[in-house]
Amino acid sequence: MPQDHDRRQWSLASSPMEGGGQELSLGGRWCLDQDLPAADEVAAGLGGEVRCLRVTSSELADWDSGFVAFLTVLCRHCAARGISVDQEALPAGVRHLLTMAAAVPEQKVGRRGQGSENLLVRVGTAALSLAHGAPEMLRFLGEIVLALGRLVAGRAQFRMGDLWLEIEEVGPRALGIVSIISFLVGLILAYLGADQLRMVGAQIFIADLVAIGMVREIGALMTGIIIAGRTGAAFAAQLGTMQVNEEIDAFKTLGISPIDFLVLPRIVALILMVPLLTLYSSFVGMLAGLIISTTIFDIGVFEYYTETVRALELKHFLVGLSKGSVYGAMVAYAGCLRGMQCGRSAEAVGEAATSAVVTGILLITIMASLMTILYYQLGI
Amino acid sequence: MTEAPHIEVRDLSMAYGSFMVQHDLNFTVNKGDIFVIMGGNGCGKTTLMRALIGLQRPAVGTVFYDGEDFWQVAPEGQERLKRRLGIMFQGGALWSSLTLAENVALPLSEYTRLPAGRISEIVSYKLALVGLAGFEEFYPSELSGGMKKRASLARAMALDPDILVIDEPSSGLDPLTARRLDDLIVELRDSLGTTIVVITHELASILGIGNNSVFLDAETHTMIATGDPRIAVQSGDPRVRHFLTRGAA
């Protein structure tokens, strides 16, 4: 069945006038629900000798924005070729709209997003962006180190109340999600170990696997990742929104360091709380291992407990806690960095939150690898 | 009003990357002026304000405060000069996690040795001055747009600054609230002798309170007039008169 837009309801006729001019008669319906002619093609069809174009519309039945847009483009092409356009025979409403559209000349600000960039350009742009981003990250790190120095010296513009609020937000309020994830990870570890150890009749070593795995590595890693998603994103969104609302500018104009006032409480809170959450996560994971081992694999509670105590040494706790502190610092750094770098729009706040999570997890992974190699080399 | 140069803008140009927002700006703000930075949307009024208050380094040129070059002094000197300024941002920029009292008190607790009780008295006085007595324990999210602007003005006045910079005081306000805010600005100037720089395109404010001004043009990206806006509307540049009469002249 033919659609409305398939039917051509408009008409266009061109005829020469005396004195080197051309008359363009437009008739019928010129509406957006049909395929209208391209104005640049009509302009290209005008002979090179044409100096004046008279547009008439005595047969025009109906028109909308499609008609005005056609005439706007036609007038622009004619102006570029030095052809004057006589609009007197057009309806008054159309003439007014054309005048309004031409009232403010196009600003030469350079259009954005035009054309597709080739791979080389995109790689170059990404490399330049990275080159600009790296010094920015180092500068921010340096500012944090200086602010921590001021905090130790008691000269930071810092409110203790803000630190307590942040501690409450990043610590106790994260217990729920840390409990669930740690319990499930402990459960997975227990099943994974049971499957392998059963083959050699050494199921009791599930306790060793879960305890050392959770305390040394998994507790800190899972807590770091949970905190990156939960708290790192929140830091970036909070600081980003403050950028949008000019709250950070207000600090700067009063000579109050936003690093001291906003970043420091968040960094200190995470450095203090993530090791504690890591410890908690490890115990919940071990509890899951205990429950699974005693209920599914017929290992006695006391037997499991004794094996866990025998397997764990102080160094395992120190390794786990040190990793927790570093991961906490990484998440706080990534969240605050992206928040402070945020642009001034709602979209930029979303990007800052996403980028904080990605950067946080990337930094955690890099630090986890480096610390694992370091502790192995040190024999810890 | 004493005609002594207080702020002097010399050969100032501001840019975002390769896009020049405004160039070759030269004007003087005198002590006790209510100086209006005016122009159409997107002409660079707020960008100029950011250069004036030290938030954006100009591409070229500089700003002098009582003869001291803001962009040449050491960072400590810049901080000292900034403390002579009180800023009211367009959206208020009140710190959302603090109450109104805490917002106004923060500059006082950071830069004075006043005891808490005295700070509390000053905070109540500043909030009363802008008609917000009794709202000390309210958070910014609990206030209307006009109240936020007034609270922001109270914070800007906390340290009794020599210069108040006010960005779009009337935008988003009903005519009566806007008028009251304009009256308040004039009273502050008259009673405290504060120099006030107002960024606005509201004609009622420009002609009602301004005694000196600069007009920024969005097309030529530079200033096309400076001086008393009430004289400019009578006999100034045609583009300025066109703007100040809503296109009638």
pLDDT for A108:
56
Summarised one tens digit per residue, pLDDT across range B84-133 is 899 999 888 999 989 999 999 999 998 888 899 889 999 998 898 888 88
Taking CA–CA distances from B107, the nearest residue in chain A reads: A254
Q: Do B124 and B180 belong together in one domain?
A: no
Judgement on whether residues B247 and B168 belong to the same structural domain of the protein: yes
Point out the least confidently predicted range of A120-129, A223-232, A315-324, B147-156: A120-129
Q: Which residue has the higher pLDDT, B172 or A27?
A: A27
Return the CATH number of the domain spanning residue range A4-103: 3.30.750.24
pLDDT (tens digit per residue) in A275-327? 999 999 999 999 999 999 999 888 899 999 999 999 999 999 999 999 999 99
pLDDT of residue B90: 87
Length of chain A: 380
Q: Please give, rounded to a whole number of angstroms, the shortest distance from the CA of B107 to a CA of chain A.
A: 7
Chain B's closest residue to A156, CA to CA, is B110
Residues with Cβ within 8 Å of residue A320, at least 6 apart in sequence: A215, A216, A217, A219, A220, A278, A279, A282
- Name the closest residue on chain A to residue B80, using Cα atoms: A255
Q: Are residues B209 and B146 in the same domain?
A: no
Q: How many CB pairs under 8 A join A and B?
A: 56
Instruction: Flag if B54 and A253 touch (Cβ within 8 Å).
Output: yes
Per-residue pLDDT, averaged over B196-201, amounts to: 92
Name the minimum distance, in Å, from the CA of B68 to any CA of chain A.
17
* Mean pLDDT score, A193-200: 84
Q: Is B128 on the interface with A (CB under 8 A)?
A: no
Whether B243 and chain A come into contact, CB under 8 Å, resolves to no
- CA-based nearest distance A267→chain B, Å: 18
pLDDT grade for A355, boundaries at 50, 70 and 90: very high
Contact A254 B90 (CB under 8 A): no
CA distance A69 to A81: 19
Q: Are residues B54 and B124 in the same domain?
A: no
Q: Residues B78, B190: one domain?
A: yes
Kindly report the average pLDDT of chain A as a whole number. Answer: 88
CB B210 within 8 A of CB B178: no
Inter-chain touch A254–B107, beta carbons under 8 Å: yes
Q: Cβ B93–A256 below 8 Å, yes or no?
A: no
CB contact under 8 Å between B93 and A250, yes or no, is yes
Most confident of A27-36, A201-210, B207-216, B240-249: B207-216
The three-state DSSP-derived secondary structure of chain B is: CCCCEEEEEEEEEEEECCEEEEEEEEEEEECCCEEEEEECCCCCHHHHHHHHCCCCCCCEEEEEECCEECCCCCHHHHHHHHCCEEEEECCECCCCCCCHHHHHHHHHHHHCCCCHHHHHHHHHHHHHHCCCCCCCCCCHHHCCHHHHHHHHHHHHCCCCCCEEEEECCCCCCCHHHHHHHHHHHHHHHHHHCCEEEEECCCHHHHHHHCCEEEEEECCCCEEEEECCHHHHHHHCCHHHHHHHCCCCC
Residue A113 has pLDDT above 90, yes or no: no
Of chain B, the percentage scoring pLDDT greater than 90 comes to 50
Residues of A near B (Cβ–Cβ under 8 Å) read 105, 107, 109-110, 157, 162, 241-242, 245-247, 249-256
Q: Please give the mean pLDDT across all residues of chain B.
A: 89
- Contact: A256, B54; criterion CB under 8 Å: no
Q: Is the pLDDT at B249 greater than 70, yes or no?
A: no
Question: Which residues of B are less than 8 Å from A125 in CB distance?
Answer: none
Q: With contacts defined as CB-CB under 8 Å, which chain A residues touch B155?
A: 250
User: Residue A247 and residue B83: Cβ atoms within 8 Å?
Assistant: no
Cβ of B90 under 8 Å from any chain A Cβ?
yes
Cβ-defined contact of B54 to A252 (cutoff 8 Å): yes
Domain ranges of chain A: 4-103, 145-378
- Number of separate domains in chain B: 2
Do B42 and B115 lie in a common domain? no
Please tell me whether residues B171 and B146 are part of one structural domain.
no
Q: Does B179 touch chain A (CB under 8 A)?
A: no
Least confident of A153-157, A346-350, B222-226: A153-157
Kindly state the helix (H) or strand (E) to which residue A53 belongs, with its residue range.
strand A52-56
What's B63's domain CATH number?
A: 3.40.50.300
Asked if B29 and B131 sit in the same domain, the reply is no
Q: Which residue of B has its CA nearest to A105?
A: B219
Contact B106 A254 (CB under 8 A): yes
Q: Summarize the confidence of residues A224-240 as an average pLDDT.
A: 95
Q: Given this model, what pLDDT does residue B1 score?
A: 47
Please report which confidence band the pLDDT of residue A114 belongs to, taking 50, 70 and 90 as the band edges: low
- The pLDDT tens digits of the residues spanning B3-37 come to 557 899 999 999 988 889 999 999 999 999 999 99
pLDDT level of residue A210 (50, 70, 90 thresholds)? very high
Query: What is the extent of the structural domain holding B143?
Result: 91-160
Is the CB of residue B53 less than 8 Å from the CB of residue B87? yes
Is B10 in the A-facing interface, judged by CB distances under 8 Å?
Answer: no
Q: Say yes or no: B214 and B233 in one domain.
A: yes
Band (A106; pLDDT cuts 50, 70, 90): low
Q: Is the pLDDT of residue A1 over 80?
A: no
Q: How would residue A104 be classed by pLDDT, with cut points 50, 70 and 90?
A: low
pLDDT for A7: 67
Distance CA A312, CA A326 (A): 22
Per DSSP, what are the bridge partners of residue B225?
A: B215
* Whether A3 contacts A33, CB under 8 Å: no
Band the pLDDT of A164: cuts 50, 70, 90. Answer: very high
Q: B80 and B171 in one domain?
A: yes
B247 plus B195 within the same structural domain: yes
pLDDT higher than 50, residue A2: no
Tell me whether residues A253 and B106 touch, CB distance under 8 A.
no
User: Average of pLDDT values for B160-183?
Assistant: 87
Whether the complex's predicted ipTM is more than 0.85 is answered with: no
Sort out which chain A residues have CB atoms less than 8 A from B90's CB and list them: 246
pLDDT at A46: 82
One domain for residues B153 and B171: no
Q: Give pLDDT, residue A340.
A: 94
